[in-house]
Structure 1
Amino acid sequence: MTVTRRNVVLGALAAPALLALPRGAAHAAAPVDLKISHQFPGGTLTEGDFRDRLCRVFAAEVEKRTNGALKGTVFPGSSLMKTNAQFSALRKGALDMSLYPLSYAGGEVPEVNIGLMPGVVTNYEQGTAWKSAPVGKVLADLLMDKGIKIVSWIWQAGGVAGRSTPLVEPADAKGMKVRGGSREMDMVLKAAGAAVISLPSNEIYAAMQTGALDAAMTSSTSLISFRLEEVAKTLTTGRGKAYWFMLEPLLISRSIFEGLPKDMQDVIMTVGAEMEKFGTEAAKVDDQDVARIYAKAGAQVSDLSADTVKRWQDIARETAWKDYAARSDSCAKILKLAEQAL
């Protein structure tokens, strides 16, 4: 059977629950309902953007394993609160959970820009290894100090949708208006001669439609879910290798998490860990599907060579990496650990 982004199956659903509360352990109080917010299009447990599906499967599994004592309600499309407000709300305990592009919070916590540092992660294996590597431990501890706990580590490769002209090599960027997705990616684009535009991924379509953007870098999943093939004539994929990798973890407010009973905390973290395999597999499927979808729409599709990735990485090393490391001792430490994981 051909695997598509619509039929990636979460193995955890078919397997016995690894951790569940016994029947008699349901809490006497009314069920706890966690509000889970994200900016991506809504769907169902089995259809739509995998990030929305991941949140829904997480909520369903948590409810199942706590016998209804702990539930989750998913609010897609920034319907609960605006995209950029979610990180601060998590820190304050005003939002329970969010699947959030970590680099969006770089203005508030500069260290998290490592989550979309061009060229630091170039394949899924490197990203997956962060969770147990020193860089991941330092990043997780930093977020805990800021009031947020990582529940699931989710990485996504990204590509470039072009309104008319392909953006493959750094030289292609000269004179183009490009959305990079992070402060650091913007620095690399500027060094390559582009004018940068900053906006969330759910605003790319309108900007490209009006000509405010010539090209946009975003995850393969967003390239599909936001239907950018309708306004793009070119695509540079992230399949196989990429210099654009984004950390989009499932997060929970530390104050909310620590206010829950230990048994509920354990269920959250166990189910969260199971979601990581689902997320990686679904992201890889989307890396392939995006090329098929854009080609079908008539777009010119290009892949990246190892040499091209290195050229982007070299620019990043001399611009974004240096700038990030100079921002604070904490940033310098995180970058050094990230380089060790390359």
Structure 2
Amino acid sequence: MQSAWAQPANLKISHQFPGGSIAEGDFRDRLCRMFAADVERRTRGGLKFSIYPGASLMAPNAQFAALRNGGLDMALVPLSYAGAEAPEANIGLMPGLVTSYEQGHAWKDAPVGRELTRILHEQGLVVVSWIWQAGGVASRGKPILHPEDVAGLKVRGGSREMDRLLLDAGATVVNMPSNEIQAAMRSGALDAALTSSTSLISFRLHESSRALTTARGGAYWFMFEPLMMSRTVFERLSKPQQAAVMAVGAELEGFARKAARADDAAVAAVYAKSGAQIVDMNAEALRKWQAVARTNAWREFGERSAGCAKLLELAEQSIAMI
């Protein structure tokens, strides 16, 4: 096997977010570029990478299957996009389950994170970087703060369980990946959209929004958006190459958390400059959303499979330990 990899391997990294450079742009694209440069350096050119931003290699929803079958080397992708193929993946965008970066990042070494890693490994995936992002709500009309504020509106949630939350609150749900939100907001096909703070900025949703609810005061929308490698590809690498991939991935998690927090604050200034009304999520509103989520979204997730039930149990145990 070693001889087959004697020549430098050029691996492809796909994501749906706007492209930039190591120094500027959407931090998820920056992270991919930083990862590529550092792993290439550590492997002395044994591993090289090509970055494909903006869904330029394949559609966002196609990435999970391509990773599983070895047709794609790596992707930075919202895990909940895989929910139709692997229901356990929706634990990565479960409304009100993760409400802080500290809680989300603690999953990695907690029983819930170890179980999720095991499930993904069986699905043919290796989690290289654990990345969590808080999200807010861009609205074409009034601010969306409390559950009753979405009644009668067309809203994008981002996962099956987030959609159930919105339905229970009286909204009409519209499904789409984050890179399609801008066009839908412009056309009126969407009244409001929940997405990460970084996507609220990078996809320029402020151009069609009159209000923004930020995650500065907390969030019920926390997305697990890892950098992953195909297990098939990972197992072809030499042990030193595998070690380099995992070491760099882990080291970049601190950058991701800092950048995500920075975007939670920066998004308010971007939208205020465009004239949007800015509100912050608060503890009272967060409790209301959690109450709605527990009623059906959490329950239905736990009933979908034994794996889902176990993940939810372990996640709730992690809440109790905080």
Task: Classify the TM-score, shorter chain.
Answer: over 0.9
Partner of 1:10: none
Once residues 104 and 42 of structure 1 are traced to their aligned partners in structure 2, the CA distance between those partners, rounded to angstroms, is: 20
Percent of aligned pairs with the same residue? Answer: 62
How big is the shift at 1:131? Answer: 0.2
Alpha carbons 1:123, 1:240 under 8 Å: kept: no
Selected match of 2:235 from 243, 246, 258: 258
Partner of 1:108: 85
How big is the shift at 1:77? Answer: 0.6
How big is the shift at 1:341? Answer: 1.2
Partner of 1:174: 151
Alpha carbons 2:23, 2:30 under 8 Å: kept: yes
Give 1:234-245 correspondences, 5 Å limit: 234-245=211-222
1:98 is aligned to 2:78: no
Alpha carbons 2:5, 2:237 under 8 Å: kept: no
Partner of 2:33: 56
Aligned residue type for 1:155: W
Aligned with 1:327: secondary structure?
Answer: coil
Aligned with 1:59: secondary structure?
Answer: helix
Sort the Cα spacing of 1:309 and 1:66 in 2 relative to 1 into closer, same or farther, 3 A.
same
Partner of 1:316: 293
Aligned residue type for 1:131: K
Aligned with 1:218: secondary structure?
Answer: strand
Alpha carbons 2:302, 2:308 under 8 Å: kept: yes
Aligned with 1:127: secondary structure?
Answer: helix
Render the CA deviation track for 1:137-182: whole Å, top value 9, x for unaligned. Answer: 0000000001001000000000000011211100101001000011
1:296 is aligned to 2:273: yes
Unaligned runs of 5+ in 2: none
Once residues 274 and 262 of structure 1 are traced to their aligned partners in structure 2, the CA distance between those partners, rounded to angstroms, is: 18
RMSD across aligned positions (CA): 1.3
Partner of 2:100: 123
Alpha carbons 1:143, 1:149 under 8 Å: kept: yes
Partner of 2:169: 192
Once residues 71 and 307 of structure 2 are traced to their aligned partners in structure 1, the CA distance between those partners, rounded to angstroms, is: 27
How big is the shift at 1:322? Answer: 0.3
> Would you say how many aligned residue pairs link Structure 1 and Structure 2?
318
Aligned with 2:97: secondary structure?
Answer: coil
Unaligned runs of 5+ in 1: 1-26
Give 1:31-180 correspondences, 5 Å limit: 31-180=8-157
How big is the shift at 1:239? Answer: 1.4
Q: Deviating runs (4+, > 2 A) in structure 1?
A: none
How big is the shift at 1:221? Answer: 0.1
Render the CA deviation track for 1:198-250: whole Å, top value 9, x for unaligned. Answer: 00000000001010000000000000000000000100001131000000000
TM-score by length of 2: 0.97
Aligned residue type for 1:195: T
Aligned with 2:23: secondary structure?
Answer: coil
How big is the shift at 1:29? Answer: 2.2
Once residues 72 and 320 of structure 1 are traced to their aligned partners in structure 2, the CA distance between those partners, rounded to angstroms, is: 39
Partner of 1:12: none
Aligned with 2:303: secondary structure?
Answer: helix
Render the CA deviation track for 1:74-132: whole Å, top value 9, x for unaligned. Answer: 10011111111100000000000000100000000000000000000000000010000
Alpha carbons 1:140, 1:149 under 8 Å: kept: yes
Selected match of 1:246 from 223, 237, 248: 223
Aligned residue type for 1:280: R
